[in-house]
Chains A and B, each alone.
Chain A
Amino acid sequence: MKGRGTIIFTIGAVVALLVAIILMQFRTVEETDISTLEAMRETELRAEVASWKEKYEEASKQLTETQAKITEYYETMESKDEAAKVLEQELLQAKMRIGQEAVTGSGIEVTLEDNIETQIDDYDIYKLINELRLAGAEAISVNEVRITAMSDVKSIAPGLIHIDGNPLHSPYIIKAIGDQTYLVSALNQKTYGYMDYVIKSYDKTGYITTRESIVIPATKKVMKFEYAEEVKQ
């Protein structure tokens, strides 16, 4: 008799305790839900931190490179020939950045094609270039025309697009060198990603292929500054 009473009492106490814990947890969960808005602002802040951190890391890497170059020049102080090589190397890297040097690396290829119903227009291409840049593409070409900082894309007639004055037709093969995972996932983002929003929702034809070795040619245009002068500090 006594034993049974104790058991029932114990079980009752355990149940009461469990109920109390659950209630407490419900409250916590509720409070967290209320702060969703705060959390979203927090997400934004986090993105901001990440962005500055990334910029910092890039600048820091650049700084290391610059300092390495300075050291290299110092080491070649004795030999003008050696210094000339370092200088050439520097120029080569600058030309790779600006598009005056053919480059190679891994990346992706996006193919855009006219189909019976819809055609690829200039927006499809320069929007894609914009998205690739956002995803960190380091070199881009469209049908073997290197895209530079000031390249323009213009629809001339149905099925004809000019890039820097070069006439191009479908299929348009856009090559980009950069982090493959990054490039692909940026374009494939659900709903508002480039492939969904710009291509599929307009019944246009396009697909992505990853490539281990992409070659992007140098620009053929003569790059110059006719109107822009350097501001001397």
Chain B
Amino acid sequence: MKKNSIAILLGVVCAILVYAISIQLKTIDELNKTVSGSISENGLRDEVLKWKGRYDSIYAKLQEEESRLEKVRKEASSDDEASAGTREELKLVNRMLGFTEVTGKGITIVLDDNKAQIAEGVLPGTIADYLVHDDDLIRLVNDLKNGGAEAISINEQRIVSTTGIVCDGNVVRINGQKVSAPFEIKAIGYPERLIGTLNFPEAILSTLRSVGVVKEEPKKSNSITIPKYTGTISIKNLSALEGQGE
């Protein structure tokens, strides 16, 4: 009797131990998949650099080919007015898509986190109220578009038809690229109208001023240069609606 109960006890203990081990093995296995299936942070940093380098070189190649295409296009299509017109139109559309660097009159404005206020520590509200957020940029860009902006950039990231702005930890991603405060926003357009629109009472600028994140007020300039968009605009899910297009 006694012998049996010892055996049962030992059996139960063993079963529990085996069960515990198997659970832990599973956990570790999963951790390995996500964490140490990794090549360590340094390895990943190299990986980032590698892909960035690859992108840079293929983008340079793409630029080369684009200019070659332009030449071939001119050579191949005839010199008649229709073709010349089509070529011009194509150039203009590509320019408006953001594929060229542009310059002209416009305004600049700089937003930055209100570090002084945060350091002082006397905050009506929370620290988050004194930081520049993705939404502030989204609103400001919409106001600039409302003011007739033809080209906009934030820290040299061109705003194009596919541009999204999103917070990513304490930085902002624009066109998938990280940018951080201070944010220099440039817009080409009629300067008076741009500034006038920003100063509308319902525009975001008054709110930004009230929390002290406007580091430099909107400033007119006769020569603003906005870089080209260095990405691609995908149309893989689109097809033209023939016959109904204009």
Q: Which A residues lie at the B interface, using CB under 8 A? A: 11, 14-15, 18-19, 21-22, 25-26, 28-29, 32, 35, 38-39, 41-42, 44-46, 48-49, 51-56, 58-63, 66-67, 69-70, 73-74, 76-77, 80, 83-84, 86-88, 90-107, 122-123, 126-127, 130-131, 133-139, 148-155, 177-179, 215, 217-218, 223, 225-231, 233
Contact = CB atoms under 8 A, between A and B. Distances in A.
Contacts of B104: 227-229
A8 to B, nearest CB: 8
A91 B75 contact: no
A25 B189 CA distance: 64
B150 interface: yes
Interface of B: 10, 13-14, 17-18, 20-21, 24-25, 27-28, 31, 34-36, 38, 41, 44-45, 47-48, 51-52, 54-55, 58-59, 61-62, 65-66, 68-69, 72-73, 75-78, 82-83, 86-87, 89-90, 92-98, 100-106, 135, 138-139, 142-143, 145-146, 149-151, 159-166, 169, 176, 188-190, 202, 225-226, 231-241, 244-246
B234 to A, nearest CB: 6
B224 to A, nearest CB: 9
B113 to A, nearest CB: 20
Contacts of A92: 240, 245
B77 A22 contact: no
Nearest to B95: A230
Contacts of A96: 235, 238, 240
A206 B25 CA distance: 45
Chain A CB within 10 Å, residue with most, of B59, B73, B76, B169: B76
A227 B55 contact: no
Contacts of A229: 102-104
Contacts of B47: 45, 49
Nearest to B178: A48
Given A32-B31, A80-B78, A122-B142, 8 more contacts: A28-B28, A32-B35, A96-B238, A98-B96, A130-B165, A133-B161, A149-B160, A228-B95
B86 A228 contact: no
B146 A104 contact: no
Nearest to A150: B145
B86 A88 contact: yes
A83 to B, nearest CB: 4
Nearest to A67: B65
Contacts, number: 277
A50 to B, nearest CB: 9
Contact of A228 (B41, B103, B159, B160): B103
A80 B218 CA distance: 51
A209 B68 CA distance: 44
Contacts of B143: 152
Contacts of A228: 95, 102-104, 150-151, 188, 226
A17 to B, nearest CB: 9
Given A70-B65, A104-B239, A123-B139, A56 B51 contact: yes
30 contacts: A18-B18, A25-B24, A32-B28, A42-B35, A49-B48, A52-B48, A52-B51, A55-B231, A59-B62, A59-B231, A60-B58, A61-B234, A84-B83, A95-B93, A97-B161, A99-B161, A105-B238, A106-B237, A122-B142, A130-B138, A138-B237, A139-B238, A149-B97, A150-B145, A150-B149, A154-B142, A227-B105, A227-B189, A228-B95, A229-B104
Contacts of A106: 237
A122 to B, nearest CB: 7
A12 to B, nearest CB: 9
B190 A231 contact: no
A133 to B, nearest CB: 4
Across chains A and B, which 3 residue pairs bring their CB atoms closest together, nearest first? A134-B164, A52-B51, A149-B161
A59 B229 CA distance: 12
B62 A62 contact: yes
Contacts of B237: 105-107, 138, 177-179
Nearest to B6: A8
Given A152-B146, A230-B102, A76 B58 contact: no
